[in-house]
A and B are shown apart, each in its own frame.
Chain A
Amino acid sequence: MIRKEWPRCGVERWEGKTTAGLPVFVFPMPGFQTKYAVLAVKYGGCDRRFLLNGKWKDTPAGIAHFLEHKMFEMPGYSAAERLTALGASPNAYTSGGMTEYVFSCTENFDRSLEELLRFVSTPCFTPEGVDRERGIIGQEMSMYEDDPARRVDRRFFRALYKEHPIRDPITGTMESIASITADTLYECHRLFYAPGNMALCCAGDIDPEKVMELAEKLLPPGKEVPRRDYGDEDGLNPVSVRLEEKMAVSMPMFELGAKLSWRSDSRAWARYMLLADLSCELLLGWGSPLYSQLYDAGVINQSFYVETYDFPHGGVCYAGGRCPDPMRVLGSITDAASAFRMDKAAAERLERLKRARLGGFLMSLDAPEDLADLQAESYFDGWERMELPSLVDSISEAEAEGFLREVFRPERLALSVISPL
C-alpha cells in the first residue's frame, strides 16, 4: 500500500489494490472511536440494460435495490444479525449509480470487516426468501408513496427524462419487481459484483495493512463487467414542462430545475457539477438577492432548497420546497437568471461562496462515514476528491455567469408540483 498525505488539511490516506483487482482506501483517524467501512459496488438503480454475449439485455427496474436487500442472507444465518452481534451497525444503500454495504463499530472491526467482505461476495437466494423480501420491499414502497417529498422528486425526474432509467424509482414498482427471481439475482450478482467494479473504503483508528490483508484473503476474483446502456441522449429540454398531482399535504410542494449536459471526461464532469453547485447557490442560495426578495415577499420559506445531483451519464440542478405559488417562483428564477450580470457584488459573493466551500470541505473531514463514502463515490466517478479545494479555486466568474444564462432558460426547466387535495 502507499501512503498519501494532505498536510494542510490534516489528512492521510493509504491505498492499494488486491491481486483480484479490488481497490482499497484507508483513512487513519487516530483518537476516533468510530471505525467505518464501506464496500461499494458500481452497480445501481440506473444499471438495467447491458451487453451480454453480444446482445443487449434488459432487467427490471428495482433489481439492484432488491439485490441489496437480499445480500444479507447467508447460508443458515443473517449477515446483518451476525454483524450486530459483533457490536457493529450494518446498513446498505442503493443509489442511481452504486450500491453500498456499510458498517460502523467501535470494537471488533477486523471481524466485522471479514463478515462484510464475505457476505457481499456470497450470493445465497431461495425462491421463498425472494418472495418474503418482495413483501418487505412492497411495504417500503407504500411508505414512499405516502411521502410527498419523494413523490415530487419522482415526478420531477419523469418530467425531465424520456429514456434515462433515472426516471424510474430506484426501488422499482410493484409490477417491475414481480418478475424478479432468485435466478435474475444470481445473474446480476455474478456480472456486476466483481472486484474491479467495487471499492473498499475505511476510516477510523484502524491499521491499513490489516484491511488490505483481509481484502486480499476474502474477496474472490471476478470477470470484466458488461458494458451498460443508459438510454439515448434525451437532449437538454425536458419531456414535460409541468407535472402535477394531488395528495394530503398542507400547501403545494414543488421541485423545478434542469438537466445538465453530461461530459464523459470524469474530472471535467466533477468540475462542471461544482460549477453548477456554486452558480445555483449564487443565484438562489440563502443570502442571494433573489432569495431574500422571495423570502421577504412570503413566496418561499425556510423549506426552500437548491441542490445538484448526479448519476450515471447525467446530472440535474434543482430548487424546491413548500410554497403557495410555485409558478411565481419559476417566473422569478427565469427572470433573475436572464437578467443576471456578474457585477462587483455578485463577484464578491462568488468569492465568499468559494471560501465557504473550502470550509465545508474541511469540516466534512471529521466524519468517518463521509470520508469513506465520498471516497468511494469520487473513485467511481474518476476524480480525486482531496483536490476539491483547487477545483473550487479554478471556477471563474465568466463560467458561472454563462452557466446561469444557459441553464435557467425557460425552455430548459421542468416543474413538478404536489398540491393539496
Chain B
Amino acid sequence: MEELARELFPGVRLTTIRTDKFHSGYFSVHLLRPLRAGDASRNALLPSVLRRGTRTLPDQTKIADALDSLYGSSLEPGMRQMGETLAIGFQAAFPDDRFLPGAADCLSRVVALGGEMLLDPATRGGLLRDDYVRSEGQNLHDRIEAAVNNKRGYAALRARELMFQGEAYGVFPLGKAEEALRIRYQPLTKYYREALRTSPMELFYCGSAGHERVEEAVRRAFMTLPGGSARALPETGPEPENSELRHVTEEMDVEQGNLVLGFRYKRSGRADYPALAVFNELFGGGDASRLFLELREKRSLCYAVDSGVERYKECMMVTAGIDFDRREETEEAILRELAELARGNISPEELETARRSVSSGYLEGLDSPSAVCAFRLGQNLLGSGGDLRQYAALAAEVRAEDVARIASEMKPELSYFLRGGGEE
C-alpha cells in the first residue's frame, strides 16, 4: 500500500492509498465541523438534504438509477463523530474497473457524482429545496426520537448527556428532535455555503488507480469549491477536572436493566492510544476481558458487557445489561476489577492476549479500504502520523505498568441505570 497526501487547496487535503489488493475502490469526502449545540441538527440534516438530488439528477430515483448503472456503486451520506468534532459528508464504494466489462470507469463517475452532490445540489431560486429540507427535517426528527428504541444505546446516550452537561461532548450529534423540525431552507442554505467555505476538508481514495489519475478526477469534480476563507476548526478547551461519583436512575418500560458507568482519565500524550486500546481490551473490550469473564462467564450477571475508551475525548464508558436488582453487585464488580488492574494484578498471559487482539485488530484494518481511510482521518484529526502497521507494533509492546497506570487514572464520575418501573 502506498499512501500519498497533498493539499489540493488551502485546508483541503486529499489522501490516496494505492493497492491492487481489492475488487473494489473507496472514496470519501468530509467537512470537519465542531460539535456544538446550536449546529448539531443542521450538520446532521445537510448530507441527507444534499443526497436528495443534484442539479443534473434532481431526485432520488435518478440518483439510484445512476448508481445502479455504475454496477451497484454506493454513495451514502454520513456523519462520524470523533470526540468534539464531526466529519460530515459522503462515502462511496464501487467495483474496480479491472473486473468490469468495457471501460466502465466507475472511479471518475462516482467521484464526479460525489462532487456534484456536495457542490451542486438541486435548488429552487438558488436555494436548497424547501420540500427536501422539510421532508429530511421530519426524517431527522423521527430518527432522533427512535433513539429510544434501542435501549442499551439509549442508556449510553443519556449517560453521556448527563456526564458531559455543559461540554460539547454532551451534545447529541443528531441534535434535538424539535430543532430538526424548525430548520428552514433559507437559513440552511446560508449555513451550507458557510460550511463549504470555512470547513477544513478531508478526501480519501483507496484502490488500484494511480495517485495522479485520482487527483485529476477529484480536482475536476471539486473545481468549483469556494475558496478565499481560512478553513480551521476552533481550538477545544481544556478537559474539566474529575468530579465526585454520582448515581442517576431512570425508568422505562423495559425487560432488562442497562447500567452505564462513566469514567474520565488524563491523557499523557497523543501517542498513548495503543496502550489505551490494550488496557480497554484487557478490562472490558474483548471476550477474554476481565469484565466478560467475571461478570458474564463466572457470575452469569449479564449477557453483554463492554467497556469503550474514547480516543478523542478523555473518557471511558462501561455498559452492562443486567437484572433490575443487581445494580450494586455489578457496579462493585466493575470497580473491583478496575482496582485490581490499577494495583498491577495483571498476568503475563492476559496481557499478551490483549496485546495480540489489539495488534490483530489494527492489522485487519488493512484489509478494508474504508477502515484504512477511517483510521487515517482519525490520525489527521489528532495530528498523529502513525499508520496501522506501526500501531500494531506499538500495541505489541505495551507493558503491564502502562495498563496499571491507565487503570489508576480512570476516575468514575457517573453511574446511570435505566430500569423498568415497579418492584424489584
Contacts and interface: CB of A to CB of B under 8 A. Distances in A.
B356 A87 contact: yes
A301 B68 contact: no
Given A32-B367, A80-B287, A250-B149, A362 B60 contact: no
Given A34-B367, A146-B254, A355-B69, A139 B321 contact: yes
Contacts of B69: 352, 355
A70 interface: no
Nearest to B20: A31
A10 B95 contact: no
Nearest to A132: B300
Contact-residue size bin, chain B (C-beta under 8 Å from the other chain)? 35 or more
A326 B405 CA distance: 54
Contacts of A85: 288, 349, 352-353, 356
Interface stretch (B139-147, B157-165, B241-249): B139-147
A322 B142 contact: yes
B57 to A, nearest CB: 11
Contacts of A301: 138-139, 142-143
B72 A287 contact: no
A33 B149 contact: no
- The secondary-structure label for the interface of chain A is mixed
A251 B146 contact: yes
B142 A146 contact: no
Contact-residue size bin, chain A (C-beta under 8 Å from the other chain)? 35 or more
A362 B303 contact: no
Interface string B46-90: 001000000000011101110111111100000000000000000
B61 A139 contact: no
Contacts of B302: 139
Interface string B284-322: 001110000100110011111000000000000000011
Nearest to A353: B68
B300 A87 contact: no
B21 interface: yes
Nearest to B322: A139
Nearest to A133: B300
A87 B357 contact: yes
Given A136-B296, A360-B72, A302 B364 contact: no
Contacts of B368: 366-367
Contacts of A353: 68
A33 B367 contact: yes
B236 interface: no
A386 interface: no
Given A84-B353, A143-B304, A248-B253, A358 B148 contact: no
Contact of A366 (B24, B68, B150, B256): B24
Contact of A358 (B67, B71, B297): B71
A75 interface: no
Given A106-B359, A301-B142, A355-B69, A9 B60 contact: no
A357 B98 CA distance: 17
A287 B75 CA distance: 13
A356 interface: yes
A223 to B, nearest CB: 33
A81 B21 CA distance: 32
Contacts of B59: 292
Contacts of A267: none
Contacts of B300: 132, 135-136, 139
Interface string A273-301: 00000000000011111011001101001
Contacts of A135: 300
Contacts, number: 193
B363 A145 contact: no
A218 to B, nearest CB: 23
Given A146-B256, A301-B139, A357-B72, A89 B60 contact: no
A51 interface: no
Interface in B68-125: 68-73, 93-96, 98-100
A148 B94 CA distance: 33
A247 B364 CA distance: 39
Given A352-B69, A359-B73, A107 B303 contact: no
Given A10-B98, A136-B300, A359-B71, A248 B148 contact: yes
B128 to A, nearest CB: 16
Nearest to B369: A366
Given A145-B255, A359-B72, A249 B288 contact: no
A280 B302 CA distance: 39
A362 B146 contact: no
A107 B356 contact: yes
Of the candidates A9, A85, A287, the one having the most CB atoms from chain B within 10 angstroms of its own CB is A287
A251 B65 contact: no
A90 B360 CA distance: 13
A70 B222 CA distance: 55
B60 A295 contact: yes
A86 B252 CA distance: 42
B94 A146 contact: no
Contact of B256 (A145, A248, A289, A421): A145
A140 interface: yes
Interface of A: 8-10, 31-34, 78, 80-81, 84-90, 104-107, 132, 135-137, 139-140, 142-143, 145-149, 247-251, 253, 285-289, 291-292, 295-296, 298, 301-303, 322, 349, 352-353, 355-360, 362-363, 365-368, 421
21 contacts: A31-B21, A32-B21, A85-B353, A89-B360, A90-B287, A106-B363, A139-B303, A142-B255, A143-B304, A248-B252, A248-B253, A248-B254, A250-B147, A250-B148, A251-B145, A287-B64, A289-B61, A349-B68, A358-B72, A366-B369, A367-B368
